[in-house]
Structure 1
Amino acid sequence: MNELTGIVVLAAGSSSRLGQPKQLLWYKNTSLLKNTIFQASQIPNTTIIVVTGSNHELIQKEIIGPKIKTIFNSDWELGMSSSIVKGLKELLGLNPDIKKVILAVCDQPYLTSIVFENLISEHQKTQKGIVACTYSETLGTPVLFAKKYFNELLQLKGQEGAKKIINRFLEDTIAVPFEKGNIDIDTIEDYNELIS
């Protein structure tokens, strides 16, 4: 039987370089955030938590679906680590026995459900504790962490992201390719290039 997978979507940042909430940018008839949630929702046996922060009210309106739980991170200005910690704590509060979590961001326009499926199947096949996406010669999000790394995640501080843990435990990490995973939206130029 397929065990439950937690998916935490990190959507708390202020998109300061962009000047508007990147979560709400429109691409292919949907917003970047809605696409991330939709793709995650295609995976059976998941529980999905969206962590909001800056622009909470606007972003909250984008989150639809009975399966989706939203949590507001009042410490979002402290950096991505605070959202990872908040999302994982919420997940464990709802599902204390959960064995794995996938961390995803909402500014990868080419994210599909296949990426999530590949992370889960690779974890099941190899039993590696960390399964990360690979693109542009780096390892990054979405990334799956087995339960044994939950404490490491809960101890992240400031601007630290999941990459710190991936780099520390490379011998227990396996990569799955995510074509165009390197394309994310940080500036208006990035967005204009995406939609042109």
Structure 2
Amino acid sequence: MMIAIYLAAGKSRRMGIKKLSLPFIEDKTIGSSGLYALLQTEIDYIFVIVQQADDLLWMDAALKKELKGRGEIIICPDSEKGQGFSLRCGVLQAINKQAEKIMICLADQPFMTVEILTVLMTENMTQTDDYIACSHKTIIQPPIMFSKKCFSALLQMDGDYGAKKIIANGSLKGKKLEFSDKLAFMDIDTPADYQQLLSLRN
């Protein structure tokens, strides 16, 4: 089973307001856009990881309905300690769901496409591959697919670090899929990022 962990539990410190609820395009918000794309793929199941105080206003009724049966929302009580804790929360859920592969996705990448997600999901993961990562200009970017043998390493994550950290230390072997679409990997962290997003969305 291939399971996606959609990390949506950030505190938006640099934005100053809750960024996932900010309007993006049409009826979508920053947080909902990537999730809509993910739901259009053949992923088996999705765990949406949120903080305890999340009012979920960034998800409209149609999105919640579409998620039902194909995934679920998981509250991470330790999310305020950093992204590593949210990641661990999702990995534990995926293990309990008998995952064979886990794809880590970020909720603040509103330009992420169905095409990129599908290429990553359908790339052959050999027995020697610990992971398959997206890459732009040779730099690894989420989403990243991890094999089952990496689950224990992902469970060791803590602090405000993402999945790229365990790749950066060189202990895992994998491959990168190079993509030219810079916008797809744009994450929205600051008011300046959001203004840039608004200028690019059309």
Q: TM-score, normalised by structure 2?
A: 0.86
Q: Deviations over 1:34-81 (max 9, x none)?
A: 111111111224100100016412357545121230001111111110
Contact 1:9–1:105 (CA<8 Å) still a contact in 2? yes
CA gap 1:50/1:151 in 2 versus in 1, 3 angstroms: same
> Unaligned regions of 5+ residues in structure 1, if any?
none
Is 2:51 the partner of 1:53? Answer: yes
Aligned partner of 2:81 in structure 1 is 78
Q: Deviations over 1:99-133 (max 9, x none)?
A: 10000001112201111111122234786221111
- SS for the counterpart of 2:145 is strand
- SS for the counterpart of 1:110 is coil
Aligned partner of 2:143 in structure 1 is 142
- Separation in structure 2 between the aligned mates of residue 137 and residue 170 of structure 1, nearest angstrom: 19
Is 2:191 the partner of 1:188? Answer: yes
Aligned partner of 2:92 in structure 1 is 89
Equivalent residue for 1:28, pick from 25, 37, 43 = 25
Q: Residue 81 of structure 1 aligns to which amino acid in structure 2?
A: G
- Separation in structure 1 between the aligned mates of residue 18 and residue 172 of structure 2, nearest angstrom: 37
CA gap 1:74/1:59 in 2 versus in 1, 3 angstroms: farther
- Separation in structure 2 between the aligned mates of residue 102 and residue 47 of structure 1, nearest angstrom: 10
Contact 1:7–1:47 (CA<8 Å) still a contact in 2? yes
Deviation at 1:140, TM superposition (A): 2.1
CA gap 1:153/1:16 in 2 versus in 1, 3 angstroms: same
Superposed CA RMSD? 2.1
Q: Deviations over 1:143-176 (max 9, x none)?
A: 0000000000001111222112112347622111
CA gap 1:120/1:58 in 2 versus in 1, 3 angstroms: closer
CA gap 1:127/1:60 in 2 versus in 1, 3 angstroms: farther
Moved more, 145-154 or 28-37: 28-37
- SS for the counterpart of 2:129 is coil
Count, aligned residues: 191
- Separation in structure 2 between the aligned mates of residue 20 and residue 123 of structure 1, nearest angstrom: 40
Aligned partner of 2:123 in structure 1 is 122
Q: Residue 16 of structure 1 aligns to which amino acid in structure 2?
A: R
Aligned partner of 2:35 in structure 1 is 37
